[in-house]
Amino acid sequence: MANVTTAQLFEEPFDADEYIERLAWRTPGGGSKGGAEAFDPKKLLEEFVNHIEELKQLDEKIQRKVEKLEQQCHREAKEFAHKVQDLQRSNQIKEAADIIQKLHLIAQELPFDRFSDVKAKIASKYHDLERQLIQEFTAAQRRGEIGRMREVAAVLLHFKGYAHCVDVYIKQCQEGAYMRNDVFEDIAILCQRVNKQVGEVFCSPETVMAKLIQSIFENKIQAHVKERLDETRNSDVEQYLKNLYDLYTRTTVLAAKLSDFNLGSDKHTFLSKLIKNIFSCYLESYIDMERQYLQNRSGMILQRYYDSKNHQKRPVGTGSIQELKERIRQRTNLPLGPSIDTHGETFLSQEVVVNLLQETRHAFERCNKLSDPADLPKNAFSIFLLLVEYLCVDHIDYALEIGLSAIPSADAKNANLYFLDVVQQANTIFHLFDKQFNDHLMPLISSSPKLTECLHKKKEVIEQMEVKLDTGIDRTLNCMIGQMKHILATEQKKTDFKPEDENNVMIQYTTACSKVCAYVSKQVERVRRSMDGKNVDTVLTELGVRFHRLIHEHLQQFSYSSMGGMLAICDVAEYRRSAKDFRVPLVLQLFDTLHALCNLLVVAPDNLKQVCSGEQLTNLDRNLLHAFVQLRVDYRSARLGRHFS
């Protein structure tokens, strides 16, 4: 309350005598005119002493506040003075720049011989002022003073050193910008930041932005590309190609992002030229390196596979006598020498195929990205030819050649007919080859004249392999028939169809028939596993026709008693049951007819004409019918020939 009271006592206008009087009056017992309490000098003295002490404290507090306000005022006055000086200096620069710029232009018109000293002084002052302005711009950029940068840049715009000012800006804005491991990400962030700033500083931001990007490409990216590629170009071609693809891809992606900025009217051509300047020396030799690498890599993949099999590749297609013999043996059943034994090895590897296709796929991807558009179809076709050479010729075709050489002759016993395994694997591989052709090659050549050439080459390769597959399948079917023939020759007895005791025969199919049917069933399943699509029906039709012919001819080697004829009918019924497994109507029809023919072996003589006129036999050649009737043991004794006269 004392401070409040004191403050009230100091209210304007201030009078010392009145102040003391008012203080005494407010003190109990201090009034000079008496009052409620009598005058007490001790209380008044005590009040004066205390009040004097309060006044001292108030004076110190006010003095400190005054000193603080004086310091603040002095500091603000100093800062204001600096601002005034800066503004004055800024205006003097601007004024001086305007004057020296005009003098410089005027000096250009003055004759050199009479005004050389004047011209030199003006030029010196011009360059000094220009240097000072650039220094001021540099300092403002480092301080981040966008407004000051804009002012100085506007003044410098009319000076020759304006371009140098831009160069300084470009250099400084890149300082500390490349701190990450990913230079392309750094560049994208830098350009995004600078693109926002140049519009605030320069009157033609698109020119400055284009110059920044040009500087980045010609210095930072070019150095980065050179470092990455030169270290692997001669030591690791695979890594070199991967790096080239990666760097070129990332550079083009970056260029696409930068094209969103305002870089002038023809920014796409500008960016394309920058990319070309960096990569042209590498792209010129790209396809040669790609092909050389693919050749070496594919050859190594194949060699590693054959080494793992301890297999020394046989020369094929050499034009030798041995090749001629092999060709003849493949297309005939002539025994021109023993066939090789591969112990069931197909010499086809899905792992090898996947590796070759994967290497080629990478090559197609790089080719698509790194080839000049005009050269793309030609380059892609050259890669395709290497795939044909190493996959189709050196691997699949070679396996077919070996497989053909390993097919035994038709009269071989217990032959390993593994060529069907070769067929199965070759079909699977060729589906993979065909998929890559459609997925990775076609998009690169579909709109070029190379399309016709590629399709012709593919057709040629397919046809060459199909010839060998057809030859191998044909000879394999011959071996199957040969094996059946061997079973029949070994197991079928003459007495099977002319038993000594006609009354003691159990009506069932013979042992030979049983074994042949079991063998046929296995082969039908093998064909189904090895083929696909329409090929299954085609091969099974051919096998079924040959199977029927074999049985037909086999049955004509015997003479049949009445009971023997019944046994023959039982055998044919069993063969017919096997024929159903083929699921080929023609084959089943042939065995239906054969079954009807066998009825001629047992029918009563008087009923022969009726049977021959039946639905299944009426259209057959009469000589064929007669031939079956002649197989009956009672043919001559019963004078059955008259029924065919």
Q: Decide which of 482, 504, 522 is a domain's last residue.
A: 482
Write down the pLDDT at residue 578.
Answer: 95
Q: For residues 539 and 624, state if they share a domain.
A: yes
> Considering the domain boundaries, does residue 324 fall inside one?
no
Phi first, then psi, for residue 632 (nearest 5°) are -70, 140
Give domain status of residue 155, yes or no: yes
Whether 490 is covered by a domain: the verdict is no
Start-to-end Cα distance in the chain: 160
Q: Is residue 19 part of a domain?
A: no
At 2 the pLDDT is 47
Q: How many domains does the chain have?
A: 4
Assigned domain for 365 exists: yes
Q: Write down the pLDDT at residue 4.
A: 47
Which range marks the domain in which residue 516 is found?
495-643
Contact indicator for 133, 161 with CB cutoff of 8 Å:
yes
Are 415 and 509 found together in one domain? Answer: no
pLDDT at 318: 47
Nearest CA to 509 out of 572, 593, 429, 435 is that of 572
455 with 478, same domain? yes
545/512 same-domain check: yes
Percent helix, strand, coil in the chain (nearest 5)? 75, 0, 25
Give residue 97's pLDDT. Answer: 53
Give burial (CB, 10 Å; 0-12/13-18/19+) of 23: middle
Question: How much is the pTM?
Answer: 0.73
| Domain final residue, candidates 482, 516, 551 | 482
Q: In the structure, how many helices (H) and strands (E) does the chain have?
A: 25, 0
Low-confidence ranges of the chain (pLDDT < 70): 1-12, 30-37, 77, 80-92, 94-130, 157-161, 316-342, 502, 504-507, 637-645
Beta strands in 346-472 (DSSP E): none
* Whether residue 98 is found in the same domain as residue 191: no
pLDDT value of position 274: 95
Same domain for 187 and 144: no
Amino acid identity, residue 457? K
Are 441 and 534 part of one and the same domain? no
Residues 194 and 292 in one domain: yes
Q: What is the pLDDT of residue 70?
A: 79
Residue 485: count of CB within 10 angstroms of its CB: 16
Residue 532, domain member (yes or no): yes
